[in-house]
Amino acid sequence: MALFDALQKLKDTASGPFEQATGSPPELYTSPDMLDLELREIFEREWHCPGLAADIAGPGDYVTFSIAGQPVFSIRQKDGSIRSFSNVCRHRMMQLLEGSGNTRSIVCPYHAWTYGHDGTLRGAPHMEKSKGFSKKDFCLPEVRTEIWNGWIYITLNQDAAPVAELLAPVNDLVAQYRMDKYVPCETQDHVWQTNWKLLTENFMEGYHLPVAHKATVGKWIGLDDTVFPDQPNPHFTWQTFTKGETATYGRAADANDYLEGRWRYTTFMPTVFPAHMYILAPDHVWYLSLRPKGVGQVHVRFGVALAPERLAAFPSKEAALRDLVTFFDHVNEEDRFVVEGIYKGAHGALAQAGPLSFLEREIHDFQKYLAIRLCPEKSGAAKVAAE
Ligand code: FES
Ligand SMILES: [Fe+2]
């Protein structure tokens, strides 16, 4: 099936009733043309999350990321704000920073052009004979940045609506957890052998939890308690579920005096389209932020932060970390197994997706999102990609 036909099929299932929805056609996960279209129509236009504001708490703390192939970094300023910039030197385009850390200034590892935290070029050795050269002409391009409930969001799109506006309908839901006070415990970067959308879809549905995660989180979840929003939203989707008394993680610590009633054991699980998703529980937050690395690979940034009162209940931070990281590594491996397995399965000549369970409602929401951005009526982009 050509990509154009696969997109038509996506549009058909997205515009039909959920009760008749099926999974998406395999070509949407395996076609390099589909990825080109997604990078152009989605990744270059949307907000992306490189991590938690608390990951870069002090002046000069930075974290690197990329948006549709554009290297970027976010850095804490002396005044406490966070700004983001192109991570590409204005001399001969060397990548400036790697990973995360702290720096007094940003020094290019190639010829030592040096930038301030505000992206201005402060030093450029041996440039005095270059006619007309002026440092003020070579600042790093700034990338739009917003902080929302403790998350950093960045976009290359000057025209994108503000995050605070897009996510306003869930602001109160998120804010009640006081997630901006959570303490980051672990961040890891991985590359998984799958298409990015398979991981997004996997995260959104609880249907697989009792099976694929039976050894870990699956046994704690009350699937019958799953709640979805009344109306789908074009920018995100979410569900809430509860965790039982035997759950190791997911319930408010005794010292939590701000969550009440069922919210003390309820988890809020949003996916901010296209690729930021998290599990926000009364005692921890666990997130993924995805970037395609070709059609069959995805960069996965995974992070965990603990509510301060939960952290305080451990004998030591080291003990908390050891316990937590081992546990979530295990959960991630369970997910990696299935999303890499689906990617292999989608290449089969006989591969075809079947109907969805009511627990996969958000996959249908995601299909609607993809159809709006990628299908021909919107921009003609899909047609171009198919030709
Ligand atoms: S490329 Fe950065 S200083 Fe030359
Ligand atoms: Fe999972």
Q: How far does the centroid of ligand 1 lie from the alpha carbon of residue 317, in Å? A: 40
Last residue of a domain, one of 93, 120, 155: 155
Both 250 and 310 in a single domain?
A: yes
Q: Which of 82-91, 224-233, 275-284 has the lowest mean pLDDT?
A: 224-233
Tokens found for residue 182: 């959570």
Query: What is the pLDDT at residue 225?
Result: 79
The burial class, CB within 10 Å (0-12 / 13-18 / 19+), for 345 is middle
Residue 386 has pLDDT above 90, yes or no: no
Minimum CA distance residue for ligand 1 atom 1: 92
Ligand 1 neighbour 106 (Cβ under 6 A): no
Q: Three-class SS of residue 81?
A: coil
Both 147 and 294 in a single domain?
A: no
- Summarised one tens digit per residue, pLDDT across range 31-72 is 999 999 999 999 999 999 999 999 999 999 999 999 999 999
Q: Contact 61/76 with Cβ under 8 angstroms?
A: yes
Both 35 and 108 in a single domain?
A: no
- Domain assignment of residue 289, yes or no: yes
Pocket test for ligand 1, best of 87, 94, 95, 126 (most atoms within 8 A of CB): 94
Residue 9 has pLDDT above 60, yes or no: yes
Domain containing 289 — which CATH number?
3.90.380.10
For residue 271, report the phi and psi dihedrals to the nearest 5 degrees: -120, 115
Q: How far does the centroid of ligand 2 lie from the alpha carbon of residue 331, in Å? A: 7
Q: How far apart are CA 186 and CA 285, in angstroms?
A: 11
Ligand 1 neighbour 92 (Cβ under 6 A): yes
Residue predicted with more confidence, 217 or 128? 128
> What is the domain count for the chain?
2
Q: How far does the centroid of ligand 1 lie from the alpha carbon of residue 91, in Å? A: 5
- Domain assignment of residue 164, yes or no: no
For residue 80, give every residue at least 6 positions away whose Cβ sits within 8 Å of its Cβ, in sequence order, or none: none
DSSP secondary structure string for all residues of 134-178: -GGG-PPPEEEEEEETTEEEEES-TTSPPHHHHTGGGHHHHHTTT
DSSP secondary structure string for all residues of 285-348: EEEEEEEESSTT-EEEEEEEEE-HHHHHTSS-HHHHHHHHHHHHHHHHHHHHHHHHHHHHHHTS
- Model pTM score: 0.94
For residue 25, give every residue at least 6 positions away whose Cβ sits within 8 Å of its Cβ, in sequence order, or none: 1, 5, 6, 9, 10, 352, 353
In percent, the amount of the chain with pLDDT more than 70 equals: 96
Give the mean pLDDT of 287-308. 96
Query: What is the pLDDT at residue 94?
Result: 98
- Summarised one tens digit per residue, pLDDT across range 179-233 is 999 999 999 999 999 999 999 999 999 899 889 998 887 777 667 778 888 888 9
Q: Could you say which DSSP state residue 355 is in?
A: B
Residue predicted with more confidence, 345 or 380? 345
Both 41 and 53 in a single domain?
A: no
Give the mean pLDDT of 254-274. 94
Give the mean pLDDT of 77-86. 98
Query: What is the pLDDT at residue 79?
Result: 98
Distances (CA, A) of 84 to 65, 155, 177, 180, 368: 10, 10, 26, 19, 31
Which-ligand-closest: CA of 211?
2
Residue 354 has pLDDT above 70, yes or no: yes
Q: How far apart are CA 15 and CA 153, in angstroms?
A: 30
Ligand 1 neighbour 91 (Cβ under 6 A): yes
Ligand 1 neighbour 110 (Cβ under 6 A): yes
Give the mean pLDDT of 235-258. 89
Ligand 1 atom nearest to 94, measured from its CA? 1
Q: Which of 68-72, 280-284, 316-320, 356-360 has the lowest mean pLDDT?
A: 316-320
Q: How far does the centroid of ligand 1 lie from the alpha carbon of residue 46, in Å? A: 30
Q: How far does the centroid of ligand 2 lie from the alpha carbon of residue 194, in Å? A: 14
Pocket test for ligand 1, best of 110, 115, 121, 126 (most atoms within 8 A of CB): 110
Q: How far does the centroid of ligand 1 lie from the alpha carbon of residue 107, in Å? A: 9
Query: What is the pLDDT at residue 385?
Result: 47
Both 227 and 282 in a single domain?
A: yes
- Domain assignment of residue 277, yes or no: yes
Ligand 1 atom nearest to 111, measured from its CA? 3
Distances (CA, A) of 85 to 44, 103, 106, 118: 15, 15, 11, 9
Both 300 and 367 in a single domain?
A: yes
Cis-peptide into 274, omega within 30 deg: yes
Ligand 1 neighbour 94 (Cβ under 6 A): yes
Minimum CA distance residue for ligand 1 atom 3: 111
Tokens found for residue 201: 């879809």
Q: Contact 283/179 with Cβ under 8 angstroms?
A: no
Domain containing 73 — which CATH number?
2.102.10.10
Ligand 1 atom nearest to 112, measured from its CA? 3
Last residue of a domain, one of 103, 125, 155: 155
Q: Could you say which DSSP state residue 112 is in?
A: -
Residue 324 has pLDDT above 90, yes or no: no
Using 50, 70 and 90 to split pLDDT, how confident is the model at 384?
very low
Pocket test for ligand 1, best of 85, 87, 88, 89 (most atoms within 8 A of CB): 89
Residue recorded with tokens 């009344």: 230
- Domain assignment of residue 36, yes or no: yes
Q: How far apart are CA 328 and CA 333, in angstroms?
A: 8
Last residue of a domain, one of 155, 186, 201: 155
Residues 235-252 as b/e (b if ≥16 CB within 10 A, e otherwise) read bbbbbbbbbeeebebbbb
Ligand 1 atom nearest to 113, measured from its CA? 3
Using 50, 70 and 90 to split pLDDT, how confident is the model at 86?
very high
- Domain assignment of residue 281, yes or no: yes
Both 118 and 41 in a single domain?
A: no
Of 333, 338, 340, 24, residue with least CA distance to 195: 340
Minimum CA distance residue for ligand 1 atom 4: 111
Q: How far does the centroid of ligand 2 lie from the alpha carbon of residue 147, in Å? A: 27
Mean pLDDT over the full length of the chain: 93
Both 143 and 101 in a single domain?
A: yes
210 conformational bin, left if phi > 0, alpha if psi -120 to 50, beta if neither: alpha
Query: What is the pLDDT at residue 222?
Result: 67
Tokens found for residue 269: 């699980």
H helix runs in the chain, sequence order: 3-15, 27-30, 32-38, 163-166, 171-175, 196-204, 209-212, 308-312, 317-346, 361-374, 376-379, 381-386
Using 50, 70 and 90 to split pLDDT, how confident is the model at 244?
confident
Ligand 1 neighbour 133 (Cβ under 6 A): no
Both 139 and 222 in a single domain?
A: no
Query: What is the pLDDT at residue 1?
Result: 62
Of 89, 95, 80, 86, residue with least CA distance to 67: 86
Which-ligand-closest: CA of 108?
1
Q: Could you say which DSSP state residue 42 is in?
A: I
Residue 378 has pLDDT above 50, yes or no: no
Both 270 and 242 in a single domain?
A: yes
Q: How far apart are CA 175 and CA 280, in angstroms?
A: 11
Q: How far apart are CA 178 and CA 262, in angstroms?
A: 16
Which residue range is the domain that position 151 belongs to? 48-155
- Domain assignment of residue 230, yes or no: yes
Both 305 and 192 in a single domain?
A: yes
Both 13 and 82 in a single domain?
A: no
Residue 380 has pLDDT above 50, yes or no: no
- Domain assignment of residue 104, yes or no: yes
Residue predicted with more confidence, 323 or 85? 85
- Domain assignment of residue 167, yes or no: no
Q: Which of 57-71, 112-126, 321-335 has the lowest mean pLDDT?
A: 321-335
